[in-house]
Amino acid sequence: MSNKYIKEFRQLIKIGVPIFGSQMSYMLMGTADTIIAGRASANDLAGLAVGTAFANTLWFFVTGVIFSVTPIVAQLYGAKKFHEIGKKLREILWIAAFLGFLLAFIFFNLDIILNLFPIKESITDISINYLKAVAPGIAFITIFTCLRCYSEGMTLTKPIFFIAFTGMLINIPLDLIFVYGWFGAPKLGGVGCGIATSIVALLMMITLFVYISFSQNYKKTKPFSEFTLPSKSTTKEVFKLGLPIGIGIFIELSMFSGAAIILSILGETVVASHSVAINIASLFFMVPLAIGLAAATRVGNLIGESNPHQAKTASFSTIYLCMIGALINSFIIVVFGSEIVGLYTTEVPVKELAVSLIIFAAIFQLPDGIQMGALGSLRGYKDTFIPMVLLFISYWLFAMPIGYYLTNYGFGDPYGAKGMWYGMIIGLSIFSFLSVFRLRWTIKRNIKRSATQELQQPLSQ
């Protein structure tokens, strides 16, 4: 492999490793909540699960909008427009604050919707109170995410990792205190996880604000040097870029949620086995996710530098690196699959079916890695609308209908849980092909546009 790709591998790894650590920290916070609430009671675990299902769907949609900050900042950083970065940040913080407090208001009033569902009242009560407890935290974490994307857009990913990792560690004792009522605190069960999350979110937001204010790494952008009102043009830019990302994340999440709903009629064993397999696939997905997020920064920087050929190299390096990571993931899943499943369950029927399903999770890795590499690079180019359309086509027009048909009918006999996995793999494979095709088209268009601008410059001079 040529040196130009090795150089980009190094850049992506340098940016991506701290992002991987941050993503793992966020996931481990959720894992700690689940384990600690689960040990309190089955009711607390169920209440937490229902509450987080609602919370995550809304939160990830808003996160998608805020993710637009990374390519905006990355391109300006590459162009060395440092003063404009600070101005953009101040303008976008208004949007983040608005979305965060809007989400908090919605969370606080979700009991209106939750009470309509045919769920046991004892579970619903925990879910409603959990959402009320986590509502302030969702506002804080939305603002934190805006600051995080600003930092990552300038390739400053290590501070985010340290703050996220510390937040994850603080979350554990806070969970124990509020869930079990330690040190004289009220014993709140699953609701205590919501209070712990809000406290951690507040601490993370304040810490990042303070760090950005005093660290020399951010001085040249003058992030908080003056007061700036919201801007119509910046608001339009954020939503134009971010809404398709948010809708795309929603489409992807809905595929996984839809798969669980389709399989729910097949009984508890199938649902439990599928949940284990999809959780393992999600855990390993952290590798291509980190590389894809790093690509949004790296490609954005290079576009800002007016270096389209190196941006092309970075884009394809991202896909190659994701493929390498996916193949390593697949190898680990195939070789150690039974042992990994054993960490999740000891029930023999669940374990046996889950072991058979994680073979699909291993196959899943390659198209999932390729699509994340292409998607991350496309974000660096600020290309988000067409990828959203391609996600819709791949997941809702192919993955879900094919999965449903194979699960319930198959060719001769129903395929059961495996049918849904066939559908998801087909949908992912279609999207990985379409997203790479879109990336190649975007790269060519960008190189052509850059060449045209270079030709026009001497004429204008």
pLDDT tens readout for residues 53-64: 778 888 888 999
One-letter identity of residue 378:
L
Judge whether residue 439 has pLDDT over 70: yes
Regarding whether 86 and 209 lie in a shared domain, the answer is: yes
**How far is 97 from 118, CA to CA, in rounded Å?**
34
Judge whether residue 6 has pLDDT over 90: no
Predicted structure pTM score: 0.89
Regarding whether 123 and 199 lie in a shared domain, the answer is: yes
**Domain containing residue 158:** 16-230
Burial of 139 (C-beta count, 10 Å sphere; 0-12/13-18/19+): buried
**For residue 153, what are its two tokens?**
């857009």
Within-domain flag for 5: no
Regarding whether 250 and 137 lie in a shared domain, the answer is: no
Judge whether residue 460 has pLDDT over 60: no
3-class state of residue 343 by DSSP: coil
In this prediction, residue 47 carries a pLDDT of 80
Task: Name the pLDDT band for 1 (thresholds 50, 70, 90).
Answer: low
Regarding whether 245 and 162 lie in a shared domain, the answer is: no
For the segment 171-189, the average pLDDT, to the nearest whole number, is 89
Within-domain flag for 153: yes
Judge whether residue 218 has pLDDT over 90: yes
Work out the percent of the chain whose per-residue pLDDT is above 70.
98
Regarding whether 183 and 110 lie in a shared domain, the answer is: yes
Last residue of a domain, one of 173, 205, 230: 230
Within-domain flag for 10: no
Burial of 224 (C-beta count, 10 Å sphere; 0-12/13-18/19+): middle
Regarding whether 435 and 334 lie in a shared domain, the answer is: yes
**For residue 178, what are its two tokens?**
């509020």
- Choice among 11-25, 37-51, 223-237, 423-437 with the minimum mean pLDDT: 37-51
Q: Where are the alpha helices (DSSP H) in 264-285?
A: 268-284
Judge whether residue 253 has pLDDT over 90: no
Domain count, the chain: 2
Within-domain flag for 159: yes
Q: Specify the DSSP class assigned to residue 80.
A: T
Regarding whether 225 and 118 lie in a shared domain, the answer is: yes
